[in-house]
């Protein structure tokens, strides 16, 4: 019988994932990734993978009577996830650290270290499905539309897919909670983790200050400008702004204004009306394909942020980067965020990082 390595964060989802595999009779080994130094952030580890997470995962593993280990991946995580997160904000973009963690740290390390433990397959509590067939393995959206996490997995190396198992892909969160209660798992009623795990205070600017130093252009005041170039105010550092953001602009404007663009070279934050937020074209870079890349002229659907509907688009260019013509303009296309492409069957084709959004008419 094959041995399966299951990533356990100490939350309810991965607890149930492990329990389901044990119930199915598999030889299961639980692991928790130690991703950052807990002593630097005492008593704030409410979110997954904090020190309390490790303890909860250990308790769940003990209840399931499976071995549990901690993989110390702090060095890789700091380099590939935290440093990238900080650098992206430093150049005025809004990163998805979970994408990097999944693709560069989590599954890569699980696979490599799992092999050392004789594990052929890797499982996690993500709400996604993977379908294995002779033609290869396909990653699909999770069945629960409220929990689907495929948005965070587009960057995984394609070669890893055949090794993956997602026991929760066909379940809803409600069903998972019910399972956890039925199995009397101590994590059954644990709240959802919302924050970024390495930003336990909830304010990522604290982390930027710590890692960029007190003096950095991204944290220095700069001008708030309109599209026409007129200066309408001052902001406290462009790293605090994301396209579409409304908070922190100071107010005093006759109408509601939103961040349209962040310009790191001039430290300008461009603001404008809700109408100005809409763009009909998106350029995507750092591409990764989990299925055959789409052809120019083909129709796809693309999801431009977590918790938003995927929208129809046509591939208008594909080389180093991908340009998609959206069927209808979208508001707040944020550079740095992931753009994930799906086919009509909810299969993840691939994705990339949004380089920029723009309006076709303007070029």
Partner 1 sequence: MHPVYLDYAATTPMRDEVRAAMLPYLSDDFGNPSSLHRWGRRAAEGLAAARATAASALGAKPSEVFFTRGGTESDNLAILGRCRALHAASGTTPTLIVSAIEHHAVQDAAVSAERGGEVRRVVLGVSEAGQVDLDALDAALEAGAAVVSVMWVNNETGIMLPVAEIARRVEAAGGTLHTDAVQAIGKVPVSVVDAPVHLLSATGHKIYGPKGTGLLFARTGTTVAPLLFGGGQERALRPGTEDVAGAVGLAAAMRLVVDEQAVESERLRALRDRLEARVLAGLDGVRINGGSAVRAPHISSLGVEDVDGQALLMALDLEGLAASGGSACASGSTAGSHVISALYGADDPRATVRFSLGRTSDQIDVDRAADVLTRIVSRLRGLDGAA
State the residues that interact with partner 1 by CB under 8 A.
29, 34, 54, 67, 69-72, 112-113, 115-118
Q: Which is nearer to partner 1, 7 or 340 (CB)?
A: 7
As a whole number of angstroms, the distance between CA 175 and CA 169 comes to 11
As a whole number of angstroms, the distance between CA 6 and CA 17 comes to 8
Q: Between helices 204-212 and 83-90, what is the axis angle to 10°?
A: 90
As a whole number of angstroms, the distance between CA 352 and CA 340 comes to 7
Catalytic residue among 48, 49, 101, 119: 101
Q: Which is nearer to partner 1, 69 or 306 (CB)?
A: 69
Q: Any alpha helices (H) in the chain, and if so which ranges?
A: 12-23, 51-64, 74-77, 83-90, 97-100, 107-116, 173-182, 204-212
Task: Please state whether beta strands 338-342 and 322-331 pair in parallel, antiparallel, or not at all (unpaired).
Answer: unpaired
Indicate if 119 belongs to the active site: no
Indicate if 101 belongs to the active site: yes
Closest residue by Cα to residue 147 from 304, 302, 307: 307
- Phi, psi angles (nearest 5°) of residue 327: -65, -40
| Dihedral of the alpha carbons of 37, 40, 43, 45, in degrees to the nearest 10 | -40
How far is C-alpha 334 from the chain's CA centre? 14
Q: Which is nearer to partner 1, 32 or 124 (CB)?
A: 32
312: phi > 0 → left, psi -120 to 50 → alpha, else beta; which? beta
| Nearest distance in Å: CB 46, partner 1 | 19
Q: Which is nearer to partner 1, 58 or 205 (CB)?
A: 58
How far is C-alpha 292 from the chain's CA centre? 22
Q: Which is nearer to partner 1, 30 or 95 (CB)?
A: 30
Residues with active-site annotation: 101, 197
């Amino acid at each position: 019988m094959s041995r399966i390595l299951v990533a356990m964060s100490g939350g309810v989802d991965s607890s149930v994932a492990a329990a389901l595999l044990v119930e199915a009779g598999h030889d299961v080994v639980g692991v928790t990734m130690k991703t950052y130094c807990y002593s630097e952030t005492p008593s704030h580890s409410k979110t997954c993978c904090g020190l309390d997470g490790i303890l909860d995962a250990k308790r769940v593993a003990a209840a399931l009577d499976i071995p549990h280990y901690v993989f110390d991946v702090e060095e890789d995580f700091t380099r590939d996830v935290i440093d990238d997160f900080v650098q992206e904000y430093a150049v005025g973009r809004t990163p998805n650290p979970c994408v990097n963690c999944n693709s560069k740290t989590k599954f890569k390390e699980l696979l490599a270290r799992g092999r050392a433990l004789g594990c052929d397959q890797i499982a996690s509590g993500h709400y996604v499905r993977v379908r294995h067939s002779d033609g290869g393995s396909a990653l699909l959206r999770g069945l629960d539309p409220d929990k689907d996490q495929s948005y965070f997995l587009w960057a995984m190396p394609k070669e890893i897919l055949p090794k993956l198992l997602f026991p929760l892909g066909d379940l809803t969160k409600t069903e998972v909670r019910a399972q956890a209660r039925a199995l009397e798992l101590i994590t059954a009623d644990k709240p959802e983790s919302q924050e970024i795990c390495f930003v336990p205070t909830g304010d990522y600017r604290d982390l930027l200050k710590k890692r960029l130093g007190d003096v950095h252009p991204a944290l220095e005041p700069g001008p708030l400008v309109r599209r026409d170039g007129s200066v309408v105010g001052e902001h406290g550092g462009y790293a605090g702004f994301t396209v579409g953001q409304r908070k922190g602009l100071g107010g005093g404007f006759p109408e509601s204004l939103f961040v349209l663009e962040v310009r790191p070279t001039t430290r300008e934050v461009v603001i404008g009306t809700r109408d100005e937020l809409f763009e009909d074209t998106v350029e995507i870079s750092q591409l990764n394909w989990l299925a055959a890349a789409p052809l120019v002229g083909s129709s796809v659907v693309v999801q431009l942020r977590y918790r938003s509907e995927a929208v129809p688009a046509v591939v208008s260019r594909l080389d180093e980067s991908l340009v998609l013509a959206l069927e209808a303009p979208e508001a707040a296309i944020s550079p740095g965020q992931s753009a994930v492409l799906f086919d009509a069957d909810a299969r993840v084709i691939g994705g990339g990082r949004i380089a920029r959004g723009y309006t076709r008419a303007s070029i």
